[in-house]
Structure 1
């Protein structure tokens, strides 16, 4: 029977959380506020009539980009830097399972992302209210929640690549998976319109392997209103999809990490 030490997981997660927060990550919140203020001041001059929707789009887009920067650049180094500095030898010599080590790292960075997204969402709503810009509150909160699901999945991707690749290669591979994940549905369309019998199974296989990040992107619902949001059943299924995919990725990361020799 596999025994899981929740104390070890929580300790590792708390250490990651403190380390990332001390690394001035939350300075990105100030950058986000500046981006919003610039949008509010400049858009009425260049996009009269559409500035409200553009402000919503820019606010959510900037939240996504800043969150992705933290996810990729910190996520790929969560385990990689421990390997490069050889500090992993000290950690795994203690009564800490490698699976607990991976899960603790994941939960620590996910907690940072939760705080980061929550603070940026609060700033976003405050700026919109102060400037009397109409916005769908419920849709914005849903979009922020699903952004968290999406970035948590990418944390798991970053951990996998960080286990066996250099920092630079892991970063490039994670960004690649993020981009391909947003366009993975196009592979299905390619399979449908292609007359090449060999392309169809390849495209469908790639779609099944790559994460379908479009399922976790509901930004349009926040920009164009709740009518653009998927139905509640679809939202729940998409959240379940993201959770299961993330668990599978963490399982793969644990297997790969367990087989590494130090």
Structure 2
């Protein structure tokens, strides 16, 4: 029992060490300059929107703040996530890491935790900036709804990070970026694919669309920016169900990525 606890503690310690190194590396790459860009973009929008849309500028500013937050987070998750493992392979530094007492699963999980921590900081900072600017321009909003939307945005970005790392394990950086963006777009439209299959009234097409829906991540569950803007946040049981879905899907993707990585020869 004691040995098992020590083993788990050692594993967790190695994962946290890898995650901490990733966090520091990404921060040093000036990724968080995007927070400044986000603040400037919202302030500029707040000044320009009254001249463009005199009656709806407050609603547009709320929509813009949530949409821009999602877009910037996605860019970081995809472009940084795909390179986390692939860069180590291309630079041959993976040889040094694998030579140490670090399992390949610990390596993958540590990379994911590190970038997820960066995304958590990014989302939290952008949420705080959005709340300040919306308050400054007296835009009506629900604090609870925005906080819930931001929390689910983090879950969505964490899931996309796992997908990006998974593709980065066995493809080039460019292909990994393209594949991850494709999964994101299809994941956003996965429910529409099911509807389209039903409208086709073709059993074969319906089976294909149902299969795609089961395989692709249902990212619409985690995209609550429109619901936050229109005060349509789902009930607590739906939120808990969707959060569990995101966690389970992320764990599944990381498990697959670890298995693929373990089969690679270096």
TM-score over 0.5 for the alignment? yes
Listed as ranges, the gaps of 5+ residues in structure 2 are none
Equivalent-residue separation in structure 2 for 1:202 and 1:181 (angstroms): 15
Counterpart position of 1:106: 112
2:180, 2:226 → 1: CA distance?
24
Q: Does the aligned pair in 1 maintain the 2:59–2:139 contact within 8 Å? A: no
Cα shift readout 1:113-151 (whole Å, capped 9, x = no counterpart):
000000010011011112222111110000000000000
* Equivalent pairs, count: 260
Equivalent pair of 1:103/1:250 in contact (CA under 8 Å): yes
Counterpart in 2 of 1:87? 93
Could you say which residue in structure 2 is the equivalent of 1:251?
255
**Among candidates 229, 240, 248, match of residue 236 of structure 1:** 240
Structure 1 segments, 4+ long, off by >4 Å, are: none
Q: TM-score normalised to the size of structure 2?
A: 0.96
Whole-angstrom CA distance in 1 between matches of 2:234 and 2:137: 28
Structure 2 SS opposite 1:48: coil
Q: CA deviation at 1:94?
A: 0.5
Partners of 1:220 and 1:231 in 2: CA distance: 15
Shift of 1:221: 2.3
Corresponding position: 1:50 with 2:56: yes
Q: Tell me, yes or no, if structure 1 residue 38 matches structure 2 residue 48.
A: no
Greater CA drift, 216-225 or 181-190: 216-225
Distance 1:195 1:70 in 2: 40
Q: SS in structure 1 opposite 2:203? A: coil
Correspondence for 1:172: 178
Aligned-partner Cα distance in 2 for 1:233–1:149: 17
1:200 offset after TM fit, Å?
Answer: 1.1
SS of the residue 2:55 aligns to: coil
Aligned to 1:25, the other structure's residue is in SS state: coil
User: Map of 1:195-234 to 2, 5 A cutoff?
Assistant: 195-225=201-231, 228-234=232-238
SS at match of 1:67: helix
What are the ranges of 5 or more consecutive residues in structure 1 without an aligned counterpart? none
Q: Quick check: 1:56–1:222 contact (8 Å CA) kept in 2?
A: no
CA displacement 1:138-192 (0-9 Å, x = unmatched): 1000000000000000000000100000010000100110111000001110221
- Tell me the alpha carbon deviations over residues 60-82 of structure 1, each in whole angstroms, 9 at most, x when there is no partner: 11101111111000000000000
Contact 1:149 1:239 in 2 (8 A): yes
Q: What is the aligned-residue RMSD (CA, Å)?
A: 1.2
